[in-house]
Chains A and B, each alone.
Chain A
Amino acid sequence: MPTLRLLPAQLCIVVFAAVWSAAGWAKDTGLVFVSNEKTNNIIVIDPKTNKVVKDLRTSRRPRDMHFNSDHTKLYVACGDDDVIDIIDIAKLEVVGKLSTGSSPETFGIDESRRRIYVSNEEGSSLSVIDMDQNIIVQEVPTGAEPEGVFVSEDGHFVYVTSEVGDLIHLIDADSGNVVQDVVVGTRPRRFAATPDHKELWVSAELSGEVYIIDREKFTVEGKIEFLPPGMRKTDVTPVDLRITRDGKTAYVTLGHAAHVAVVDVPTRKIQGYILVGKRSWGLGMSRDERTLYVANGFGDDVTVIDLKTRKATVSIPVGRIPWGVVIDD
């Protein structure tokens, strides 16, 4: 009996120790990683100096990037070699590869199940990859040119956009079946979820909108249209978006309109626009939510925005056609 009474306490200690040591291993280098589609590299920037500290060669056409939970590894989808490169953050080099379907673009990681869900732009499918065995365990057919992937917090559902089908697929992660679709605007691209798990925001690039999906009902319950001053509706091509941890503010890149929109999430009102570079797509936000990095696809640079003043402070040249930004902090 005494052993039984002790067990929860022991468990607590073990769990605490595990968390503590995991935090200890994480390096929190603060480094900023920018994937570049045309130069097949990731440019690593030191945010303190805004200087390039490493030009990291990857497989061809690196695009979406995600860290594992303790930030020891960075996974990078490389579209022209049909692989996800695994980068060791301590060494800053590629240490492994996972095979994907044809032309992987974006992906989501479910570490509890050791799975990666990756959209295959050319293959019109979502590949489910077993991270440990490095095998595709399932191939889920989607509409043409699937792009954005969002894995629900409990891991039960995966949301995927089809750029050509103008659809969001809701996929049951356990069975790998599309269980429902919802129609949104033209060329849906990426997702951001509100921290209360109630809404999923989806950018529709060609119709220049962000659609808001009620996750429980899986219906469109609103949309936001953008128009920075001096721009035409047709210039507005939203792609990437982020919502702050307090669920109050969203940032949306507007592509050819060369601005980032700032949206008040509860009221869905646009608070302002920040001028950035040409064809602004990928977004990265620092953990303290003070700095935003914007990849400018046609400017071959990254614009750094101070979120307190909501002004661009500097633009840093990177590789050709920068796609996305992630930060190790």
Chain B
Amino acid sequence: MIRFFALRRRRVSKGASPATRRLSCGLSCDTTLPTLSKRVRLTGWATADLARRFNRCFVADFAHAAFLAFVAVLGLAAPVVAQPAPLPAPPRQHISIGYVEIEGDPRYEPIRAYERLVLKTRDHPFTGAQIGLDEAAALVRVLNTEFALERITVKSPTEVASAVTAALEGRGVHFFLIDAPAEAFKPLAAAVKGKEVLAFNITASDDGLRRDLCAHEFVHVIPSLAMRMDALMQYLASRKWRDILVLEGPLAADAETVKAFTRSAQKFGARIVADQHFKTGTDPREREQNNPALLSAIRGNYDVVFVADEAFDFVRQVPYHTVLPRPVVGSIDLEPVAWHWTWEHNGAPQVNSRFDKKSGGRRMEGADWAAWVAVKMVVQATLRTRSADFAKQRNFILGDAGFDGDKGLPVSVRPWDHQVRQAVLLAAPYMVVGSAPLEGFLHRTNELDTLGDDEPETSCHMNK
């Protein structure tokens, strides 16, 4: 187990201007800060310089008062009521957020073409959580609360549940960022049922976790597969690219993706003209399945080719190899994602830049965004409820509150399945082509609910 406290204290600024030195105690107390001096709380990173100035003022005031009291006692013999001593500042509160990950998680192995040709490097989204924590540094003084991340590394997905309960019972940690695949969630749900835990799912997009597992203690920050497929389909529908050729890979995840995509096609009125199963290889006897040209040479027309290839292998040879000149979407070229490093609206460039600095040059991705937002939710809950009480914070997060996800419309938690409603970006390699919900896709209450399982569409109804 690794513990890592990532909270950084802000450096106190040194008063460098000559004005600082010239300012006398009397000026600051009597004229410059007529009413403030009593209310200024000298915690956090208000400077020591200022503290000294106020202390001097306080001493002067106190001496003055004492003198008057003395005169009163001697001269008038009137009873003197002692001033109550100022209350000591309440002790600083600490809120620790657990970050649970799995050692050697295969989801973060680099994707290679050959041993030494790395196509994609991948990493745990811990840096996303760290930038969320850094942003909270300015609030330490206002809230009198310090936030920290506790990084907990376990050996396998099945150990996530015991790590969470141990941190809850042993160290009073209530909030957890779960960086684990879907299989970790069923045992976790059983272990924390009814307990004072809020576990943020930051990486697993499986629809089953939302529909079937349906646990009160989870908040799914990463968009579900259904949301991402709906976003892509909204884009295709908005372009009137309604006839779609599907190329489906051999993995279970590919089948799940095609299932979700088919559901989205029905929802937005598109047609899947063929669903071709591909195999990776060069065996001429299997050329009908391993050759993109033959796979795309179907009877009839199509507007676009959708490829489901979790392995990111076959899909690389699909663009420019189809029989008809058609755009390729899904696992390559146009991908529906929670975040992209080229998103340049809603304050995103600043977030990307903070992430870039913190990670040493890695580009921020969807899971990093989810980790960042999860930490923000905990910080906002503390700020808005002015409390470190878990029940109040949980109710705030699960309530109507909107959070700033830097993707336009405020993000919030759907009360029926605890999925975080949010925009989904449609990312080409160097450009976000669109942000779903796209213009014209309307909803009776919140446009974001045109993506994924709306209340009447799911089997999970935690709000009922």
Contact = CB atoms under 8 A, between A and B. Distances in A.
Interface of A: 103, 121-122, 124, 128, 137-145, 156, 162-167, 170, 172, 174-181, 183, 186-187, 206-207, 216-218, 232, 234, 256
Contacts of B11: 141
B32 A156 contact: yes
Interface stretch (B93-101, B115-123, B132-140, B324-332): B132-140
B354 interface: yes
B138 A167 contact: yes
B142 A234 contact: no
A144 B138 contact: yes
B73 to A, nearest CB: 35
B25 interface: no
A259 B28 CA distance: 44
Contact of B347 (A145, A179, A216, A256): A145
A165 B44 CA distance: 15
A282 to B, nearest CB: 16
Contacts of B28: 172, 174
Contacts of B36: 170, 179-180, 218
A207 B32 CA distance: 33
A181 B141 contact: yes
Given A138-B13, A142-B138, A143-B139, A163 B347 contact: yes
Of B11, B33, B446, most buried by chain A (CB within 10 Å of CB) is: B33
B402 A186 contact: yes
B65 interface: no
B19 interface: yes
Nearest 4 pairs of A and B residues by beta carbon? A143-B138, A165-B138, A144-B135, A177-B50
Given A166-B383, A176-B15, A234-B446, A141 B39 contact: no
Contact of B10 (A141, A180, A217): A141
Given A122-B353, A144-B135, A186-B404, A174 B35 contact: no
Contacts of B19: 174-175
A143 B134 CA distance: 10
A177 B51 CA distance: 10
Category for how many chain B residues contact A:
35 or more
Interface string B9-34: 01111011101100100001000110
Contacts of A156: 32
A207 B39 CA distance: 28
A163 B46 CA distance: 20
B250 interface: no
B32 A165 contact: no
B350 interface: yes
A137 B50 contact: no
A177 B134 contact: no
A297 B95 CA distance: 40
Contact of B23 (A170, A174, A207): A174
9 contacts: A128-B17, A141-B138, A143-B139, A162-B138, A175-B47, A187-B347, A206-B404, A218-B39, A234-B409
A174 B446 CA distance: 48
Given A166-B383, A174-B19, 15 more contacts: A137-B16, A138-B17, A141-B10, A145-B350, A165-B135, A165-B138, A167-B138, A176-B15, A177-B49, A177-B50, A180-B36, A186-B404, A207-B402, A234-B410, A256-B408
A222 B39 CA distance: 20
